Amino acid sequence: MQGYLLIGLLIAAILFIVYSTAKVKLHPFLALLLACFGVGLLSGLPADETITAITEGFGGTLGSIGIVIAAGTIIGSLLEKSGGTIVIANLIIGWLGKARSALAMSITGAIVSIPVYCDSGFVILSSLNRSLASKTKQSLALYAVALSMGLYATHVFVPPTPGPIAAAGTLNADIGTVILLGITVTIPVIFVTYLFAFTMGNRIYIDPDDMPTADKENMSSFHKTVDDANLPGTTAALLPILIPMLLIAFGSIADLPAEPFGDGWITAAILFLGDPNTALIIGVLLAFGTVPKRGPEVYGDWVGKGLKSAGVIILITGAGGAFGNVLRATDIGSFLGESLAAWNLGILLPFIIAAALKTAQGSSTVSIITTASIIVPMLPAIGLAEGLAPALVTLAIGAGAMTVSHANDSYFWVVSQFSGMDVTQAYRLQTLGSAVAGVTGITVVFILSLFLL
């Protein structure tokens, strides 16, 4: 199979992934693996080479980011269970004051969502969000959108969140660079979406004191597990997030060709500690410090909760890596890349693919992983395979993966149900807000590409 027939095969594979996951509710792991076999065999790749491409792609991907994803989810589980996320929220509100408490919640969400999934983060912070809206006598719509978009931004832009770290591994992007540029993109996204939240909060009033009994019970279920008297200190809550990010960033700096730290043992030590695997394991050890009384429940159950979440993401990521390797083993990537290069889409191409997948099947993480596996064979042909380009491609995919959140996205329902929105309001607030966030994100990425590429 050659030429445009290969393009048709790729489109058919993507449609299969979308349909099977969105309509049939087939697990993305199986959908991606079946797509691997279909693309490999139907493209004319021999059966043995198809199997080899699948297993090597799966194993190679997990070898690079499996431990990192597992460690990141453990940190999130420990911070969630210990109440570390509440401590971080209270700290930022104390800095900015209650007059700017909605902005404080957006910034809190951005920090919390680095280790904690945005769905969980929203549930954890919902009661505080509602309380602040009530005290300031403002619409809950303002606080809900501000928190939601703050959580969403780092969920798609900043490692060690599983999606961007998986994409960085697939695209061979430097994780430290992705962190630094991801934070750079996150800041304007938070600012613009806060302005959007403020505008919509003045148009749509949601009473923060009007909450269904079922939602009260759901919201309080988390807080029953946290004893306010035993909340961790501020330093203990922040260290598991900040230290790994700083170590990875310093590791990226030490690895620059200019050798800013020399070529001796200091550089070797920084590179070792700044390796994402090492840095995240250190983060896990620091996260144990948020729990004053550690025992079997913490070391076993809480860690197990994180690993249970990690297992699904790791398997999907591995299947995405297999899919990308199968595409590389065929001529699909090079032919499509050469064809699209004539369109001069550049950094917009991964955004468009990710946005289409996100809108169609709902999951940002699946959208990120699948898009990375689709785009990686095309990078040389469209001139985005070297230097800082893979990091910017990772962020462009992240921007697409938040465009847009609607009824097929679990996060859409978490935000709407815990904020008292009806479906129409949720589309005006959460869906439109995620569109604003995604467009802002890709705009910033495009501007960065003009200076960095």
**Which pair of structure tokens corresponds to residue 160?**
């060690």
CA dihedral 139, 140, 143, 149 (to 10 degrees): -120
7-18 per-position pLDDT tens digit: 888 889 888 888
Average pLDDT, integer, range 278-296: 84
Supply the pLDDT for residue 21: 81
Express each pLDDT in 373-410 by its tens digit: 889 888 888 889 999 999 999 999 999 999 989 877 88
Residue 174 is predicted with a pLDDT of 92
Residue 385: other Cβ atoms inside 10 A: 17
Total number of domains in the chain: 1
Q: Tens digits of per-residue pLDDT, 411-451?
A: 888 888 888 888 889 989 999 999 999 999 999 999 999 99
- pLDDT tier at 342, thresholds 50, 70, 90: low
Q: Of 31-45, 192-206, 283-297, which gets the smallest average pLDDT?
A: 283-297
pLDDT > 90: what percent of the chain?
Answer: 36
What pLDDT does 294 receive? Answer: 64
Report the mean per-residue pLDDT for the chain: 86
* pLDDT given for residue 350 in this prediction: 92
DSSP, residue by residue, 98-148: GGGHHHHHHHHHHHHTTTS-HHHHHHHHHHHHHHHHHHHT--HHHHHHHHH
Query: Range of 188's domain?
Result: 4-452
Chain-centroid distance, C-alpha 222: 23
